[in-house]
Amino acid sequence: MSKLFIVPTPIGNLEDITLRALRVLREADLVLAEDTRTSGILLKKYEISARMESHHKFNEHKTVESVRDKILSGMTVALISDAGTPGISDPGFLLVRTCVEAGIEVETLPGATAFVPALVNSGFPCDRFCFEGFLPVKKGRQTKLRELSAERRTMIFYESPYRLVKTLGEFAQIFGAEREASVSREISKVHDTTHRGTLGGLYEYFKAHEPKGEIVVIVKGGGENEAGDEETTL
């Protein structure tokens, strides 16, 4: 029976893929990849000679109906992103929604995603948390941060190395420089590191040490007298 498979791929170490994911990729009639060159490295390592097509944020609105029609015609399609689980700050949501609306079976395999190991490794409460992904770059950014200043759950953010210092500075000003946080980078890769400390301390550290790689920032939720009502000047 034709269906859409959502297949997580390694976020770093290429061995972080399940046997089932490899089987699905081998058996799929078509693999949709965010970047066929990046995914080609993974498929080549595991000797998977699947037909691939590009599916990314710049073309997904144009191609989603075509993919839907291919599945309806009897094809089994697997969607992967460059790293991690499609749909989590990556293309995927639009295709899943379109398939669901068309009555197509969608099956998402469990697997790698960056925020889970970063969250657990932070040492902060994991029983309740909120995933914020990438913050707005400009419009609505300050409003969003002020809304989150009263958040009591552990908060998870994705960030670019080029904006990390600015973001930590804003966090320190709005959440409080003494709020605890951790910064994980290059998870499961050779230079996998996690730095823990206060937002103020992490801001100063990364001002002096240029960050590189994919980054997950975990911020401890606010407690009593730590709701971010007063801003801290760095």
- The mean pLDDT of 182-199, rounded to a whole number, is 95
Instruction: Please report, for the domain that includes residue 140, its CATH number.
Output: 3.30.950.10
Residue 1 pLDDT: 66
pLDDT digits (tens, 9 = 90+) for 7-63: 999 999 999 999 999 999 999 999 999 999 999 999 999 999 999 999 998 998 999
Among residues 178, 183, 170, the alpha carbon closest in space to that of 210 is found at 183
* Statement to judge: residues 102 and 140 lie in one domain: no
* Statement to judge: residues 121 and 102 lie in one domain: no
Q: For residue 200, is pLDDT > 50?
A: yes
Q: For residue 173, is pLDDT > 90?
A: yes
Q: Which tops the pLDDT comparison, 64 or 227?
A: 64
Contacts of 44 (CB under 8 A, 6+ apart): none
Evaluated on CA atoms 132, 135, 136, 140, the torsion sign reads: positive
Tell me which residue has tokens 């400390």: 197
pLDDT digits (tens, 9 = 90+) for 138-167: 899 999 999 999 999 999 999 999 999 999
Among residues 114, 133, 135, 81, the alpha carbon closest in space to that of 214 is found at 114
3-state secondary structure of 169: helix
pLDDT digits (tens, 9 = 90+) for 174-185: 999 999 999 999
Q: Angle at CA 191, nearest 5°, toward 190 and 197?
A: 145
- The mean pLDDT of 190-200, rounded to a whole number, is 96
Residue 62 pLDDT: 92
CB 231 within 8 A of CB 164: no
Q: Give the domain extent around 84.
A: 4-108
Q: In what order do the strands lie in the sheet with 106-108?
A: 52-54, 30-33, 77-80, 4-6, 106-108
Domain assignment of residue 229, yes or no? no
pLDDT digits (tens, 9 = 90+) for 67-122: 999 999 999 999 999 999 999 988 999 999 999 999 999 999 999 999 999 999 99
CB 18 within 8 A of CB 9: no
* Statement to judge: residues 92 and 179 lie in one domain: no
Of 123-137, 196-210, 211-225, least confident by mean pLDDT is 211-225
Burial class (CB in 10 A: 0-12, 13-18, 19+), 188: middle
Q: How confident is the model at residue 228 (pLDDT cuts 50, 70, 90)?
A: very low
Number of folded domains that form the chain: 2
Q: Angle at CA 140, nearest 5°, toward 93 and 96?
A: 5
Evaluated on CA atoms 118, 188, 205, 165, the torsion sign reads: negative
* Statement to judge: residues 65 and 102 lie in one domain: yes
CB 12 within 8 A of CB 83: yes
- Residue 150 has which token pair? 């009263």
Q: Which one of 56, 77, 108 terminates a domain?
A: 108
* Statement to judge: residues 68 and 156 lie in one domain: no
* Statement to judge: residues 91 and 121 lie in one domain: no
- Residue 27 has which token pair? 């058996």
Q: How confident is the model at residue 223 (pLDDT cuts 50, 70, 90)?
A: confident
Q: How confident is the model at residue 230 (pLDDT cuts 50, 70, 90)?
A: very low
* Statement to judge: residues 12 and 70 lie in one domain: yes
Evaluated on CA atoms 49, 50, 56, 59, the torsion sign reads: positive
Domain assignment of residue 230, yes or no? no
pTM equals 0.88
Tell me which residue has tokens 């992103």: 81
